[in-house]
């Protein structure tokens, strides 16, 4: 190799090596922050609905529910049960096409709801003490 070829090789390497380092994230950066959507979620807002079990025509479980989906991927759910008790849940949501997956914060509950216009609907498998699945349906509240 000639001195000129070596000099060109050193210049080329010096120019490309710093750019290769730009493809990685600096240490200590929270990679999860990149997952937060930069545009408003089409599912954001308040949804009102109900849930009830459907096994053998029974009605052992029913609730009126308010679901709030936020742009940052979080959600909160308030379920009003017969007898006046209230159950509150929070967690994270992931939208995939016309579906939203709601996972609660403690990891014990996960719901897949399908969107059709201003309606979200789905099923939750049987809860303890119940014979069958629970039908869940929400309607978007105008904001």
Q: Which of 74, 85, 78 is nearest to 50 (CA)?
A: 78
Q: State the pTM of this model.
A: 0.65
- What's the confidence (pLDDT) of residue 128? 58
Domains of the chain: 45-140 (2.40.128.120)
In this prediction, residue 91 carries a pLDDT of: 95
Q: Can you tell me the distance from the alpha carbon of 60 to that of 58, in angstroms, rounded to the nearest whole number?
A: 6
Tell which residue, 71, 53, 72, 49, has the closest CA to residue 61.
53
Low-confidence ranges of the chain (pLDDT < 70): 1-40, 55-61, 126-131, 143
pLDDT of residue 18: 40
Q: Is the dihedral of CA 110, 136, 81, 78 positive or negative?
A: positive
- Residues with Cβ < 8 Å from 38, sequence gap 6 or more? none
């Amino acid at each position: 190799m000639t001195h000129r070829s070596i000099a060109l090789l050193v210049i080329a390497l010096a120019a490309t090596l710093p750019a290769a380092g730009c493809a990685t994230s600096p240490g200590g950066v929270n990679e999860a922050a990149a997952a937060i959507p930069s545009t408003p979620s089409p599912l954001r807002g308040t949804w009102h609905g109900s849930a009830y079990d459907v096994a053998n025509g029974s009605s052992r479980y029913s609730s009126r529910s308010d679901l709030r989906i936020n742009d940052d991927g979080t959600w909160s759910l308030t379920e009003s049960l017969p007898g006046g008790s209230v159950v509150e849940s929070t967690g994270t949501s992931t939208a995939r096409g016309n579906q939203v997956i709601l996972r609660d914060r403690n990891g014990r509950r996960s719901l897949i709801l399908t969107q059709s216009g201003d309606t979200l609907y789905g099923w939750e498998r049987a809860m303890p003490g119940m014979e069958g699945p629970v039908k869940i349906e929400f309607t978007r509240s105008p904001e």
